[in-house]
A and B are shown apart, each in its own frame.
Chain A
């Protein structure tokens, strides 16, 4: 499986309000794509539409197509829970389940979708916690509540939880915006390691971060309040940050706007 994601004329609405309009792009497999842009440009909404989390919000709707390896994830016969198991997500704020231990958090996605075998769960917990660079720090206290971890550890636990269900794509919605620089660095390292195995899409407000971690960068913007967000251009990260084709991209990355 290549796990390439393509969108065709994707428009996302909250009720009558159009959050992001007419986005057609292609996200390369086994690579990191960063989505940047000013607040309110719809990049997070777009990201949530890629694994059908957008429709969880009451009144939200989607128009257009999202193809995962040529299969439309919005086809009526597709079960959204299957989509979300294949396309995992990490949120802006660390959100471990407060009533569960570290171990239970790591394997929540497996256990709550029917995996019962203890050995399998233990194997998955160690594998995902190692992959999230958290194993050394927590292996001695897996039974302790996840709420006792630091913010950066909690976020890595959330990443472990997301990859324990073995998704093929990982969506990250500003995963470092609530973290200190050291935790941010740990997560960026992690992203670099994960991209051999996963297709990663990361929304970020931090342009240096986009430049550091991504292969491809897409720039979204919005004309004004109430206007829909749009994709301006998407290209190799190096090109976007050195010689973007669109003057608006250049204005944004050089800090003259946004």
Chain B
């Protein structure tokens, strides 16, 4: 036996290896920097909102309206705005989620030829509509045109115009993720197409569809511009979305932050924090729902 043959594995790194390691390090550092640059604004916004808003957040703030409270004095609350936001987002979702899901099902499962192609094109165009234009449309059509005046329902319609394409696109992507092999397996058993969609395609993509829908809901929760022209604003509690102007968190923030008085600006920050928490709760809810149904599948 002679000594162990040198495998070369432990030899000092050559210049190629050194270069590879340096490049690897450099790219890692660059990626980390890019990540930090992307997260920094988010953390700054979140941190500053908590810093300015948390101290003014209280149970009374969440359960009272601004009725009879002038902008210059402290007190009052955002209960009326929370009611408005929740009702408008709910109404908007009631319109756009069923329509959007059915449209996505048509596009992925049933449509063939020029019709789905043109629908897809117009959905893309709709995604690009500036939100103020959606508001303007409902303002001209419903508020002025049909003499219905400002209402939460008008606001919900404007939101639905923005929400619908998001629901369609997200659902379509999720339905496209269902492997064709599953559809074929179902057809090969003599199962008709409608039954395949209901019992195979939808359950398989349920988790993704839920996430997509929740993200679309979260997306319109913070919309401001379309509501300025449709639900307007209100300092009183208006529980009826079908009659009279309603406040919303986003509009409340917009109007309060413009005031010259410190108490109003404080209320704007506290309302902003509430809105952020609401949206994060929706995102988190979507993730939890998605993970639950993913686990059930395993």
Contacts and interface: CB of A to CB of B under 8 A. Distances in A.
B190 interface: yes
Given A98-B297, A99-B297, A147-B297, A113 B195 contact: yes
B184 A95 contact: yes
Interface string B102-129: 0000000000100000000000000000
Contacts of A91: 181, 184-185, 188
Interface in B142-194: 179, 181-192
Interface string A117-132: 0000000000000000
A50 to B, nearest CB: 11
A99 B297 CA distance: 5
Interface in B177-219: 179, 181-192, 195-196, 199-200, 203-204, 206
Interface stretch (A81-89, A197-205, A208-216, A223-231): A81-89
Given A98-B297, A99-B204, A113 B190 contact: yes
A112 B297 contact: no
A108 B186 contact: yes
B189 A56 contact: no
Contacts of A108: 186, 189, 191, 199
Contacts of B298: 145, 147-148
Contact of B189 (A84, A98, A100, A147): A84
A210 B186 CA distance: 27
B199 A95 contact: no
A146 B206 CA distance: 18
A112 B187 contact: no
Among B112, B189, B196, B206, the one with the most A-chain Cβ atoms within 10 Å of its Cβ is: B189
A140 interface: no
B189 A109 contact: yes
Interface in B272-298: 297-298
A95 B181 contact: yes
Given A99-B204, A145-B297, A88 B179 contact: no
A55 to B, nearest CB: 10
Contacts of B195: 112-113
A93 interface: yes
Interface stretch (A18-26, A33-41, A157-165): A157-165
Contact of B112 (A58, A98, A161): A58
Given A93-B181, A95-B179, A84 B187 contact: yes
A112 B185 contact: no
B199 A112 contact: yes
A97 interface: yes
A81 B191 contact: yes
A89 B204 contact: no
A60 interface: no
A86 B190 CA distance: 8
7 contacts: A85-B190, A88-B188, A95-B185, A97-B204, A108-B186, A108-B189, A162-B188
Given A58-B112, A86-B190, 8 more contacts: A81-B192, A91-B188, A96-B185, A97-B182, A99-B200, A109-B191, A147-B297, A147-B298
